[in-house]
Structure 1
Amino acid sequence: MNHALKPLLLASALLTASAVHAEVKVGFVGTLSGPSADVGRDQLDGFMLALEQLGGKLGGETATVVREDDQQKPEAALVAVNKLLERDKVDVITGLTFANVLMALQAKIASTDVPFVGSVAGPSAAAGAQCKPNLFVTSWQSDVPAEVVGKYLTDKSVKRIVTMTPSFVGGRDKIAGLKRLYKGEIVDEVYTPLSQLDFSAELTKLASQKPDAVYAFYPGGLGVTFVRQYQQAGLLGKIPLYTSNTIEGNALEAMGPAAVGAILGDTWSPGHPSDESRRFVEAFQKKHARLPSAYAAFSYDAAMLLDAALKTTKGNAADRKALSKAIAGATFKSVRGDFRFGNNNFPVQNYHIYTVARGTGGKPEFKMTEANVLKAHPDAYAAQCVAR
């Protein structure tokens, strides 16, 4: 070979490598249709708002987002993920709305080094024995928002409660979390089909049981229906309503006065007092003319996390294992304050109690009423994880 050509060939190879890494391709898989489509929509809108604020770049490289609707169906999610990995050649996948869908993807996630950064679903198995070095969750393990309510109920000496949730992985995780820290009596555990929209029979029975409180978890559009029917059944103000991830963002406006007085446990709501939270809420409302949910906030954080991780890799997303390592150790300013991943790639963070109160003009709004009920709190399954 002509030695004079070697520098030219080297320069060409470097330019080719640079071109390969000049774009970061993100696959978004979420529930964008059906009764709980609001959750997936908020995830997508939160992620895209962060990307817009980052100038359309992640780690300094231009980012494109390929979106797929899983229709809240595991089989549709698997088809979507296969397409994103094999045809679209994405560098990372985010979204991942419902726990049963995420659990159906476990074998596929294990078969690739591509990082998956979920921003809602946090099933217990994925946090424990089935944890993976390339699966991250920016929201929480599903039990924990209920754990903070369980502790609060115990601290307030609430003796007798009834629990209500859809019968799916995420709902059962919530009840498991509540039981972990609640020391009173659970009079009844009510599990309804995920598609059920009429709760009149269950609420009639609840009224007859006369518990000191009810803990309910109904995500997305189910939450709006449940809270409205709770008021219509005459239970508002009679049996205190405690919940996690039922009264969210724009759903609060749809619920209106029916939500006032409800008590929530979570790491973030629009009532979080941090500067990052206030800026995020203001920007989201300005762009979308609605209040963001925690799902939007966690997805916004997912984009900021990826930006921080890709800065560590100098924008190189091709080395999947290096990118996962960078995600695991990335630091960024979360809307919820202190945030880090535990050994299972699930958050270690603070959890608070919020109340829905009447705000300006009588409109309901979120108020943080007790901070750090659980502080720097890991989930209960991290000890079972040996993937990292």
Structure 2
Amino acid sequence: MFKLKHAVLCASLALCGAASYAADPIKVGIALDISGPFAALGAEARDGFNLAIEQLGSKLGGVDAEFLQTDFAGNPEQVNQLVSRYIQRDKVDFFTGPIGSNAALAAGPALFAAKVPYLSNNPGPSQYAGKQCNAFFFGHYQNDTYDEAAGVVANQAGYGNMVILAPNYPAGRDHLGGFKRTYTGKVADEIYTKVGQIDYAAEIAQIRAAKPDAVFIFLPGAMGINFIKQYVAAGLKDVPLVAPGFSADEDVIHAVGDSMLGLRNTAHWTHDLENPANEKFVDAFRKKYDGRYPSVYAAMAYDVLMAMNAAVEQVGGDVSDREAVIAALAKAEYDSVRGPFQYGANHYPIQNYYLRVVEKDGSGRMTNIRKSTVLENHQDAYVAECQMS
């Protein structure tokens, strides 16, 4: 309920901002992955969230906000419990996190039923892009799109025979599906591993037997770190790897070392994109976090809160009108670190995807360097299946 005193004052003076209209703080539920199979990625996202919260002064659209950060350890069953608590006890106005697509699929139904806007800071499952699309879900990318770009990169490199590999869960299946959608060569073998797997001796033996020109992997975080180390140790360094950015981001690069140099990967964002919002973000992140470059996970987490901030401002701080909030979010009228983009009919972005190559920057630090735009203003493959009312 609005504060009567402030409402009267604003009516008489027309000088009050959005903050004057909210009696209670806006509440944002953030499901983190600080432990579990995506812990390193969850830590990156947490750092992106916290930088945004600091820059926003713990407000959204000028209104006081509470950011409820809770670790659910990468467990879809626990995220279900967490979401129920956020909805029933905490009465959250927005939800974001977690890292895994399986957890996103578990979190969605209760949030959609309660009309809580869910802004994904990472997963973009195909289900929410197509037949299970929902007005209250906003993706940052659709899983397949990173790999559609990677398939184009593999074609351009002339790799005619490849092995492809990913964990056996919704994102893994999406990522390999996306790669196969654009790759025109032969898939010699398609390998699925366990989520959180750390020993890849059997899979590497399969790869060796297939004698591919190159290998495509989607193995985020610790899975990618362990695989690449074992792959190189097994003497396969001369068989190139191609990956979506999640398997070749800052966490993987610095854990693996020089063996990452030259690895091609694709992403919808990179720290050397030239736009003012991104330059501000990267500079602030490096100052806050001991000079390290932000990963795509940190960038997306930061961007999600900036999107919320713009939407709250556009609705004058009144987040009780959920349809108005959704309409404001759908406009995507804020300075995104990825640059200008728009949402498709399924609330997944139409945006660019880039080729990045792991190299050393001017100071000798290994990082991803943007090389080209692989897909321009690209929409996911599932939008025609979405019948959003």
TM-score, scaled relative to structure 2: 0.91
Q: Does residue 143 of structure 2 align to residue 160 of structure 1? A: no
Q: Contact between 1:163 and 1:175, CA under 8 Å: does it hold in 2?
A: yes
Query: How is 1:212-223 mapped onto 2 (pairs within 5 angstroms)?
Result: 212-223=213-224
Query: How is 1:61-76 mapped onto 2 (pairs within 5 angstroms)?
Result: 61-76=63-78
- Partners of 1:13 and 1:360 lie apart in 2 by 55
2:332 to 330, 333, 345: 330
- Partners of 2:40 and 2:197 lie apart in 1 by 17
SS of equivalent residue, structure 2 residue 317: coil
Q: Contact between 2:21 and 2:317, CA under 8 Å: does it hold in 1?
A: no
Q: Contact between 1:243 and 1:263, CA under 8 Å: does it hold in 2?
A: yes
CA displacement at 1:377 relative to structure 2: 0.5
- Partners of 1:184 and 1:143 lie apart in 2 by 18
Q: Does residue 243 of structure 2 align to residue 243 of structure 1? A: yes
Structure 2 vs 1, CA of residues 248 and 14 (structure 1 numbering), >3 Å: closer, same or farther? farther
1:100 to 88, 97, 102: 102
CA displacement at 1:14 relative to structure 2: 6.3
Structure 2 vs 1, CA of residues 306 and 217 (structure 1 numbering), >3 Å: closer, same or farther? same
Structure 2 vs 1, CA of residues 45 and 62 (structure 1 numbering), >3 Å: closer, same or farther? same
CA displacement at 1:325 relative to structure 2: 1.5
Q: Contact between 1:271 and 1:365, CA under 8 Å: does it hold in 2?
A: no
CA displacement at 1:51 relative to structure 2: 2.2
Moved over 6 A (4+): 12-15
* 1:213 alignment partner AA: A
Question: What's 1:194 paired with?
Answer: 195
Structure 2 vs 1, CA of residues 106 and 26 (structure 1 numbering), >3 Å: closer, same or farther? closer
Question: What's 1:258 paired with?
Answer: 259
Q: Contact between 1:166 and 1:193, CA under 8 Å: does it hold in 2?
A: yes
User: Unaligned stretches of 5+ in structure 1?
Assistant: 1-8
Deviation by residue 1:247-284 (Cα, 9 ceiling, x = unmatched): 11233211211211110011112343444323322211
- Partners of 1:271 and 1:367 lie apart in 2 by 7
* 1:201 alignment partner AA: A
Q: Does residue 386 of structure 2 align to residue 385 of structure 1? A: yes
SS of equivalent residue, structure 2 residue 143: coil
- Partners of 2:30 and 2:208 lie apart in 1 by 42
CA displacement at 1:364 relative to structure 2: 1.6
- Partners of 1:81 and 1:305 lie apart in 2 by 21
CA displacement at 1:343 relative to structure 2: 1.0
* 2:156 alignment partner AA: D
- Partners of 2:136 and 2:21 lie apart in 1 by 25
- Partners of 2:43 and 2:51 lie apart in 1 by 12
Q: Contact between 2:21 and 2:316, CA under 8 Å: does it hold in 1?
A: no
SS of equivalent residue, structure 2 residue 353: strand
Deviation by residue 1:57-96 (Cα, 9 ceiling, x = unmatched): 2111112101122211111001001111111111111112
Q: Does residue 40 of structure 2 align to residue 38 of structure 1? A: yes
Query: How is 1:26-175 mapped onto 2 (pairs within 5 angstroms)?
Result: 26-138=28-140, 140-175=141-176
Question: What's 2:204 paired with?
Answer: 203
With 108-117 and 269-278 compared, the bigger mean Cα shift is at 269-278
CA displacement at 1:379 relative to structure 2: 0.5
Q: Contact between 1:21 and 1:315, CA under 8 Å: does it hold in 2?
A: no
With 141-150 and 331-340 compared, the bigger mean Cα shift is at 331-340
TM-score, scaled relative to structure 1: 0.92
Number of equivalent positions: 376
CA displacement at 1:169 relative to structure 2: 0.5
Q: Contact between 1:21 and 1:317, CA under 8 Å: does it hold in 2?
A: no
Q: Contact between 1:200 and 1:229, CA under 8 Å: does it hold in 2?
A: yes
* 2:115 alignment partner AA: D
Deviation by residue 1:344-367 (Cα, 9 ceiling, x = unmatched): 111110001010013346432211
Q: Contact between 2:80 and 2:107, CA under 8 Å: does it hold in 1?
A: yes
- Partners of 1:230 and 1:362 lie apart in 2 by 25
